[in-house]
Amino acid sequence: MTKEKPTVYPYIPNSVSAAKNQMLKEIGANGVEDFFEDIPEKLRLKRNMNLPRPLLSEYSLRRYMEGVLSRNKTCHEYLNFLGAGCWQHYVPAVCDEVNQRGEFLTAYAGEPYDDHGRFQALFEYASMMGELLDMDVVNVPTYDWLQAAATSIRMASRITGRREVLVSRTISADKLSKIRDYCKPKIGIKLLDYDPETGQLDLNSLKAEISSKTAAVYFENPCYLGVIEAHGDAISEIAHNHGAISIVGVDPISLGILAPPVEYGADIVCGDIQPLGMHMQFGGGHAGFIATRDEEKYVMEYPSRLFGIAPTSVEGEYGFGDVAYKRTSFALREEGKEFVGTATALWGITAGVYLALMGPQGMREIGEGIMQRSCYAMLQMSEIKGIKSPVFKSTHFKEFVVNFDGTGKTVAEISESLLRHKIFGGKDLTKEFPELRNSGLFCVTEVHTKNDIDGLVDALKEAVE
Amino acid sequence: MEDITKKRYTDEKPRLRRFHQARWDEPIIFELSNEGERGILIPEVEDGVNDKVGDVVSTIPESMLRKRPPKLPELSQSRVLRHYVRLSQETLGTDLNIDVGQGTCTMKYSPKINEQLARMPQIAEIHPLQDEETVQGILEILYKFEQILKEISGMDRFSLQPGGGSQAIYTNASIMRAYHEARGEADQRDEIITTVFSHPSNAACAKTAGFKIATLYPDEDGYPDLEALKAAVSERTAGLMITNPEDTGIFNPKIKEFTEVVHNAGGLNSYDQANANGILGITRAREAGFDLCHFNLHKTFSAPHGCGGPAVGAIGVTKELAKFLPAPAIEFDDGEYYLNYNRPESIGKVRSFYGVVPVVVKAYAWVMNLGAEGLKEVAEVAVLNNNYLLNKLLEIPGLGAPFAKGKRRIEQVRYSWKKLKEDTGVHSEEIGRRTADFGVHYWTSHHPWIVPQPCTLEPTESYSKADLDEYIEILRHVSSEAYTNPKLVKTAPHNSTIHKIDHAPLDDPSQWAMTWRTYRKKVCRTSAHDNVSARLQRLER
């Protein structure tokens, strides 16, 4: 601050020397050093930090950043068939328009008197998710599906007072890793096998493992491998017969055509809203939801904020606020339920916009269109010599496993060949599911045209030759 | 013509703004539904696809088929947009207000250029599992940003995976657990120590990770109590998780002694640097003896708060603890950036893929714009602004700043309206509702309220002297109202979107409603049905 000609920073109004000096004078301070008097000398950094030279002008910053980012190849330039937890769907323009509004983008934790719109938008998000899921309580979104699944399991453990959970083996390695870490202090995880023919949960495995210690059974629909579980009701029934809770993870974009999990006995439903209006963002668009019935014993176990509707002192005026705030760690520190903090509210608002745009008709059409396209891709790929598509004899939604054993090529080799055609092939499953041998997980959504899929098939033919 | 400028707010001396928050009286979106309207059309499936696959819906197992369509609202596109733009106007983001009232949250300016960069297709439209050679640009940013955080903190490795400050604290607690497990001491070391003026997530997240919590209270002067820490540590201590400066804005001058006491007891030290705004380039985690730390990129590093996320809590650790970090690590070798999953002792996955990447991009752009001198300028001006505010606010009747009397504070202060409450009966929350009438945020404090009738203000570097003077004038005015016309304050807000909320139904299981369908079931069937009907009639008129 003693430089001859100090830089004036556009983001820092009081970087102007005159303002600084006037304020120092009014406070009666000799310099900013006075304010750090409590920081011991030995802890002071006595040199400039060694950071890159600043790009002070906005233009030079833009030039630099765009230059670095230009080294990324987008899924607009390439044809993408990767899913596996992050999915390429079309993002309606209005979704982006709303979530870049400065009011929403830069708000945070204001009271309903400053931020009525934020409360209402998140209440409406929960309300529309409630219709999609046919459930009465939906949280202000948490970080992602991984967290939503892990918290759902801990909620179930607290509700039942039990400390063991059965998890279908057909979940992603990442999610299982998250669940294991998050449940470690409290809950043991047991994996349930799947039927190698259908990819669906093996009911015998469930019957063998379930006991009076079981807090919950967790399975997904469609599962990580894209298979639609046909026996959801049987799974929930077995869980309920043993006093356990049925937790279902679900892809919300499937729910225009697939039954909401509550219809086959789910007590807690969770999942990711990234498909509902969030760009992939290299995995940055995720947000997790948790939904339950409106029963006090369930509601009081949510760690997340829950926004509810309330009257105000003026007739006919909607107000909103936190429901049962006293269960949260904001109110009770370590005595609250798990913890709450900044997560993904803006993505919740965006998913609300998405559902409002889609309506019941849009959700049905998109679900059906995804099924048709992915079915087409499965059939076309199955005609290629040496390729088994799909591996599982079940109905699929959006994703499916393709086996390349008969081609004599590894998934990695095939992906490399596809890449030369500017195609991102499916995720290599050889590490996560070694028993599926040389298989990849492919994803087809409403963004893929017949031409796109035919292009993939042609490139695959070339790759396996 | 009369000289209007003489009667304007900008007439040198700050006056009170004649503010009124947007008030659209907007219906719930379901009330706007009109059967058959469409907000967007879905791309049609081509004939060639249809012909090949036939009726796919009939292949869905009967029990898995949706029987009744979801009761989503049906609105044309412009009506959806208008509804949400109105709701946005009823939200007071940092772009709009002098956002010094949300202390501890570092509500600073989020540069628009960074938002534009993070929304480029080269970020928005890339899949996390793409071949590494097609994502070299974003891997470079993640790698270089880690190097920046290492220099700012003195720590050896970072993970950008946690999706917010609380998840970062949880992750650090989980790493501490893994460290003690690896040493065979996990069963014995089951206690985390924190202070009551550290963010509540330090206690809550450590508890969630399986620890018991010991909370230290400050000494009479408001400083963290070293003697209390010495009494608390034992062979059961897993570690210390604290904020510094604390929520009071007081920097713990004995921080090095604190970390030494914990190290000597065999524990680790974890530094909640969610808000590091006042000490960038001034002092670092490493020199103070911390083993772990975290930064909130949506606070100190300027990424917008998004109504409560998306966010990043970047965690940093010493090299001894690096092996426990979540995988993958971002590495650079032979001119290529790559993802390294080889971390067999990792605690596991914390958040999907690599974290909230667009937030990292915004934070990286912010640092690249400011550089080392700019970051130090941020800290110095944030602290100058805070002490200016403190100095002026103490002149306001009824307002005090407990603890550390006569001392300077770092980036924020927890004030107290205790005297005002005694004099007038007006509570801090009521003051907050009244300040909303002048277009600014105001926040009390985390719980429990150690400081009576608290409010926590943090001006950051983003506000000018005139901005600060305006905020000061608002509080001075509300204080004066409390003394002369307390009813006006107690019945506030008067110029907001809505009026005082009756919170009772929100805590009553028979009345609470977290979704519109629940409200319809619980409330509209009974007395409030008439209200809704009346409201709809009013809308029709």
Q: What is the pLDDT of residues B455-495, one digit of tens each?
A: 999 999 999 999 999 999 999 999 999 999 999 999 999 99
pLDDT in tens, B154-177: 999 999 999 999 999 999 999 999
* Beta-bridge mates of residue B416: B400, B454
**In this structure, are residues B468 and B100 in contact, taking their beta carbons and an 8 Å threshold?**
yes
Cα-Cα-Cα-Cα torsion B250, B254, B258, B261, nearest 10 degrees, comes to -160
Rounded CA gap, B262 and B429, in Å? 38
CA B425 to chain CA mean position, Å:
31
Record the tokens describing residue B214, joined without a space: 């010991």
Pair of tokens at residue A177: 């890793």
CB-facing half-sphere around the CA of B43: CA atoms within 13 A: 16
Q: Is B115 on the interface with A (CB under 8 A)?
A: yes
Please report the residues numbered 18 through 47 in chain B whose beta carbons come closer than 8 angstroms to any beta carbon of chain A: 21-22, 25-26, 28-30, 37-46
Domain boundaries, chain B: 24-40+73-89, 118-369, 504-540
Q: What is the arithmetic mean of pLDDT over A92-121?
A: 97
**pLDDT tens-digit series, residues B179-194:** 999 999 999 999 999 9
Q: How confident is the model at residue B11 (pLDDT cuts 50, 70, 90)?
A: very low
| Whether B349 and A97 lie within 8 Å, measured CB to CB | no
pLDDT-derived band of residue B368, with 50, 70 and 90 as boundaries? very high
Which phi and psi angles does B333 have, rounded to 5°? -155, 135
Q: Average pLDDT for residues A301-314, to the nearest whole number? A: 97
Whole-Å CA distances, B64 to A169, A196, A197, A231, A444: 20, 21, 19, 9, 20
A contacts of B350 (beta carbons < 8 Å): 178, 181
What number is the average pLDDT over the span A237-257? 98
The three-state DSSP-derived secondary structure of B115-182 is HHHHCCHHHHCCCCCCCHHHEHHHHHHHHHHHHHHHHHHCCCEEECCCCCHHHHHHHHHHHHHHHHHH
| pLDDT tens sequence across B33-53 | 999 999 999 999 999 999 999
- Report, as an integer, the average pLDDT of B93-117: 97
Separation CA B406–CA B246 (nearest Å): 17
Nearest to B49 among A342, A364, A373 (CB): A373
- Predicted local confidence at residue A186, as pLDDT: 87
Contact A316 B534 (CB under 8 A): yes
Q: Evaluate if residue A293 carries a pLDDT over 80.
A: yes
CB neighbour list of residue B232: distance below 8 Å, 6 or more residues apart = B193, B214, B216
Mean pLDDT of chain B, nearest integer? 95
Tell me the two tokens of residue A254. Answer: 């499937």
Of A82, A127, A344, the CB nearest to B129: A82
- Whether chain A has a CB inside 8 Å of the CB on B537: the answer is no
Rounded to 10 deg, the angle between the A17-27 and B357-393 helix axes is 40
pTM over 0.80: yes
How many other CB atoms are there within 10 angstroms of residue A458's CB atom? 14
Residue of A32, A72, A262, A396 to mutate when probing chain B, most B C-beta within 10 A = A72
User: Which residue among A19, A42, A137 places its CB closest to the CB of B465?
Assistant: A19
Size of interface A-B (CB pairs under 8 A): 741
Is pLDDT of A4 > 70? no
Say if the Cβ atoms of A105 and B304 lie within 8 Å.
yes
pLDDT at residue number B541: 44
Class of domain B118-369 as given by CATH: alpha beta
Superfamily of the domain at A79-89+367-464: Aspartate Aminotransferase, domain 1 (3.90.1150.10)
Question: Contact A32/B380, CB-based, under 8 Å?
Answer: yes
Residue B3's pLDDT band, with cuts at 50, 70 and 90, is confident
- What six digits make up the tokens of B175? 């790493």
A435 φ/ψ angles, rounded to the nearest 5 degrees: -65, -20
pLDDT at B7 over 90: no
Q: Which pLDDT does position A349 carry in this prediction?
A: 98
pLDDT at B192: 98
| Rounded-to-integer distance, Cα A376 and Cα A454, Å | 10
Residues 146-165 of chain B with CB under 8 A from chain A are 148, 151-152, 163-165
User: Among partner residues A90, A124, A255, which is closest to B66 by beta-carbon distance?
Assistant: A255
pLDDT score at B2: 85
Interface of B with A in 75-104 (CB under 8 A): 75, 77, 80-81, 83-97, 102
CB-based contact B140 A71, cutoff 8 Å: yes
Side chain identity, residue B316: G
Rounded Cα gap, residues A92 and A356, in angstroms: 11
Residues of chain A with CATH 3.40.640.10: 93-354
Task: Give the gap in angstroms from C-alpha B148 to the nearest C-alpha of chain A.
Answer: 6
Q: Which residue shows structure tokens 């279902």?
A: A248
CA closest to B463 among chain A residues: A13
293-352 of B, contacting A, C-beta below 8 A = 296, 298, 302, 304-311, 347-352
Amino acid identity for residue B123 in this structure: I
pLDDT tier at A1, thresholds 50, 70, 90: very low
Which two tokens mark B97?
A: 């207000």
3-class SS at B507?
helix
> How confident is the model over B301-308, as a mean pLDDT?
98
pLDDT digits (tens, 9 = 90+) for A131-185: 999 999 999 999 999 999 999 999 999 999 999 999 999 999 999 999 999 999 8
Res. A289: pLDDT tops 60: yes
pLDDT score of A113 more than 50: yes
The hierarchical CATH code for the domain A93-354 is: 3.40.640.10
**Under an 8 A CB cutoff, do B355 and A283 touch?**
yes
Distance CA(A437)–CA(A431), nearest Å, equals 9
Task: Give tens-digit pLDDT for A190-214.
Answer: 999 999 999 999 999 999 999 999 9
Average pLDDT score, chain A: 97
Q: Is the pLDDT of residue B529 over 50?
A: no
Residue A212 distance to chain B (closest CA, Å): 24
pLDDT at position B391? 97
Q: pLDDT digits over A8-31, tens only?
A: 999 999 999 999 999 999 999 999
- pLDDT score of B536: 53
Q: One-letter amino acid identity for A71? A: R
Over residues A367-383, the mean pLDDT reads 98
Q: Which residues of B touch A389 (CB under 8 A)?
A: none
CB-nearest to A105 from B131, B163, B306 is B306
B159 φ, ψ (degrees, to nearest 5) = -125, 135
DSSP state string for A253-316: GGTTTBPPGGGGT-SEEEEE-TTTT---GGGT---EEEEE-S-HHHHTT--S--EEEEEBSSTT
Distances (CA, A) of A329 to A184, A456, B157, B239, B416: 20, 50, 29, 20, 23
Peptide bond between residue B245 and the one before it cis (omega within 30 degrees of 0): yes
Instruction: Please judge whether A61 and B368 are an interchain contact, meaning their C-beta atoms are less than 8 angstroms apart.
Output: yes
- Other Cβ atoms less than 10 A from the Cβ of B440: the count is 25
ipTM over 0.85: yes
pLDDT reading at B538 higher than 60: no
Does the distance separating the beta carbons of A357 and B80 come in below 8 Å?
Answer: yes
